[in-house]
Amino acid sequence: MELIGERWTLLIVRELMLGARRFSDIRAELPGLSAKVLTERLTRLEEIGVLTRHKLPPPAASQVFALTDWGKELEFVMQALGRWSVRSPLHDATLPMTPTSFLLSLRTMVDLVRAGEMKVRAVFRTPEVTLYAHLESGQLLVEREPAPGLPADLEFSAQTVPQFLSLIYGKQPAAECGVTITGDPALAERFVDLFSLPEKCPIAAKP
């Protein structure tokens, strides 16, 4: 906790988990995080070896931040915390979720035993972002903004990322969620069925 226990630290790491991001990208995904605090947290994470910073080649020439291999190992920590925290009776599934957080939640909540040898390439698309999930050989790989033309068996389209949550975890019909599905309906149903939230912990009775 001395390394990663400060407020915002794990959320910043989360936003870097799927690749390098610019300062402005990180701040845009975390409303309420001031530029001063973000600078302090990034500096500290760099000092302890969790991330590095470098400049992109021209024409971009922007400074970006990326996790080190050691920093990426924090995904296992965040998965354990994620599975634990959603069991809270106070967990609010309607709270906003960033695109990166949504993809990481899929990796956390997928039942790979049930998936077996299932192979699926799925795209989740909103007007602002394109997300990609590839299930194969007992692994779920995820990616933000995949290369154009990447093959997909299923495409889920909505106006916002939270609409996907209602479909994937709320198990609501796609039409009720405002989600359009392109591809084999049976395959889409099997894919969605691989994801579920753990049961809520019981509330202790008051003495």
pLDDT for 168 beyond 90 = yes
Residue 102 in any domain: the answer is yes
Domain holding 55, by residue range, is 9-76
| Residues 182 and 104 grouped into a single domain | yes
| 189 CB neighbour count, 10 Å cutoff | 11
In a domain, 84, yes or no: no
Report the domain count for the chain. 2
pLDDT in tens, 108-133: 999 999 999 999 999 999 999 999 99
The CATH number linked to 184 is: 3.30.1050.10
pLDDT in tens, 17-76: 999 999 999 999 999 999 999 999 999 999 999 999 999 888 777 899 999 999 999 999
pLDDT at residue 167, as a whole number: 95
58 and 118 housed in the same domain: no
Nearest to 110 by CA among 70, 153, 139: 139
Residue 205 pLDDT greater than 70, yes or no: no
Specify the DSSP class assigned to residue 78: H
- Model pLDDT, residue 149: 84
Whether residue 130 is found in the same domain as residue 175: yes
Q: State how far the Cα of 9 lies from the Cα of 18, in Å rounded to an integer.
A: 16
Q: How far is the C-alpha of 59 from the C-alpha of 54, rounded, in Å?
A: 14
pTM assigned to the model = 0.91
